[in-house]
Amino acid sequence: MPYPGHGGREGSEGMLISPREKSRLVIVSNRVPAPQDRSAQAGGLAVVLADGLRPGSLWFGWSGKRSAEPAAPTLQEARGISYATTDLTPAEYQTYYQGFSNSALYPLLLYRLGLLRFRGEDFDGYCQVNARFAASLAPLLRPGDRIWVHDYHLFTLPGELRKRGVAAAIGFFLHTPFPPAGLFAVLPHGEVLLRGVCAADVVGFQTAVDRGHFMDAAIEMLGARRRGEDTLWLDGRRIRVVVAPVGIDADGFAAMSRSAHAATATRRLAESIGERALVLSVDRLDHTKGLPERVGAIEAFLNRHPQWRRKVNFLQVAAASRQDVAEYQRLRRNIDRMVGDLNGQAGEPDWTPLRYMTRPVRRPTLAGFQRLARVGLVTPLRDGMNLVAKEFIAAQNPADPGVLVLSKFAGAAETMADALVVNPFDTGAVADALDRALGMALDERQARHAALLAGVRRETAAAFCAGFLAHLSRAAGPAMGLVEIPA
Positions marked active-site: 175, 383
**Residue number, 222 or 361, with CB nearest to ligand ADQ:** 361
For position 383 contacting ligand ADQ by CB under 6 A, the verdict is yes
| Contact region with ligand ADQ (CB under 6 A), list: 26-34, 261-269, 280-288, 331-339 | 280-288
The nearer residue to ligand ADQ, 167 or 183, going by C-beta atoms, is 183
Q: Determine, following the binding rule CB under 6 A, whether residue 137 of this chain makes contact with ligand ADQ.
A: no
282 binds ligand ADQ per the rule CB under 6 A: yes
Enumerate residues 6+ apart whose C-beta is below 8 A from 272.
Answer: none
Q: Could you say which of 386, 407, 460, 473 contacts ligand ADQ (CB under 6 A)? A: 386
Instruction: Residue 341: name the closest of 381, 278, 295 by CA.
Output: 295
Of 158, 137, 169, the C-alpha closest to 59 is 137
Q: Is 244 helix (H, G, I), strand (E, B) or coil?
A: coil
Closest to 281 measured CA to CA, from 315, 232, 328: 315
Evaluate whether 371 touches 396 at the Cβ level (below 8 Å): yes
Enumerate residues 6+ apart whose C-beta is below 8 A from 459: 245, 247, 390, 415
Pick from 387, 393, 434, 438: which binds ligand ADQ (CB under 6 A)?
Answer: 387
Q: Closest Cα partner for 17 from 485, 434, 479? A: 479
Please pick, from the candidates 31, 54, 164, 284, the single residue that binds ligand ADQ as defined by CB under 6 A: 284
Which of 223, 214, 243 has the alpha carbon at shortest distance from 152? 214
CB of 137 or CB of 387, closer to ligand ADQ: 387
For position 465 contacting ligand ADQ by CB under 6 A, the verdict is no
Decide if residue 43 touches ligand ADQ (CB under 6 A): yes
**In the complex, minimum distance from the CB of residue 260 to ligand ADQ, in angstroms, rounded to a whole number:** 13
Closest separation in Å from C-beta 65 to ligand ADQ: 21
Sign of CA dihedral 215, 216, 220, 223: positive
Report, in Å, the least distance between residue 63 CB and ligand ADQ. 19
Nearer to ligand ADQ, 45 or 127 (CB): 45
Of 345, 275, 289, 306, give the one whose Cα is nearest residue 435: 306
Phi and psi angles of residue 298, each rounded to the nearest 5 degrees, phi first: -65, -40
* Torsion sign (Cα): 381, 384, 390, 392: negative
Sign of CA dihedral 463, 465, 470, 471: positive
355 within 8 A of 281, measured Cβ to Cβ: no
Kindly give the pairing relationship between strand 58-66 and strand 375-378. Answer: unpaired
Radius of gyration of the chain from Cα atoms? 23
Stretch that binds ligand ADQ, among 120-128, 297-305, 380-388, 476-484 (CB under 6 A): 380-388
Q: How far is the CB of 206 from ligand ADQ (least distance, A)?
A: 7
Amino acid (1-letter code) at residue 471 = H
Helices (H), 185-290: 190-197, 208-222, 250-261, 264-273
Select from 385, 431, 434, 480 the one that contacts ligand ADQ (CB under 6 A). Answer: 385
Cβ at position 282, least distance to ligand ADQ in Å: 5
Site string (11-30) toward ligand ADQ, x via CB under 6 A = --------------------
Of residues 164-203, which lie at the interface with ligand ADQ (CB under 6 A)? 175-176
260 binds ligand ADQ (CB under 6 A): no
Decide whether 357 or 454 has the Cβ nearer to ligand ADQ: 357
Residue nearer to ligand ADQ on the CB measure, 43 or 424: 43
| Nearest-approach distance from CB 388 to ligand ADQ, in angstroms | 5
Taking the least distance from each CB to ligand ADQ, the nearer of 6 and 322 is 322
Residue 240 CA to residue 172 CA, distance in Å, equals: 10
Burial 190-223 (b: 16+ CB within 10 A, else e): bbbbbbbbbbbbbbbbbbebbbbbbbbbbeebbe
Q: How many chain residues touch ligand ADQ (CB under 6 A)?
A: 20
Q: Does 319 bind ligand ADQ (CB under 6 A)?
A: yes
| Order of all β-strands in the sheet with 354-357 | 354-357, 312-319, 277-284, 375-378, 403-407, 420-422
101 contributes a contact to ligand ADQ by CB under 6 A: no
By CB under 6 A, is residue 51 in contact with ligand ADQ?
Answer: no
Regarding 244 and contact with ligand ADQ (CB under 6 A), the answer is no
CB of residue 174 to ligand ADQ, shortest distance in Å: 9
The least distance separating ligand ADQ from the CB of residue 456, rounded to whole angstroms, comes to 13
Output 154 or 388, the one with its CB closest to ligand ADQ: 388
If the CB atoms of residues 67 and 329 are measured against ligand ADQ, the closer one turns out to be: 329
Contact 314, 277 (CB under 8 A): no
| Region from 155-163, 226-234, 277-285, 298-306 binding ligand ADQ, contact rule CB under 6 A | 277-285
| Residue 482 Cβ vs ligand ADQ, minimum distance, rounded to whole Å | 25
- Enumerate binding residues for ligand ADQ (CB under 6 A): 43, 48, 175-176, 246, 282-284, 317-319, 361, 366, 383-388, 391
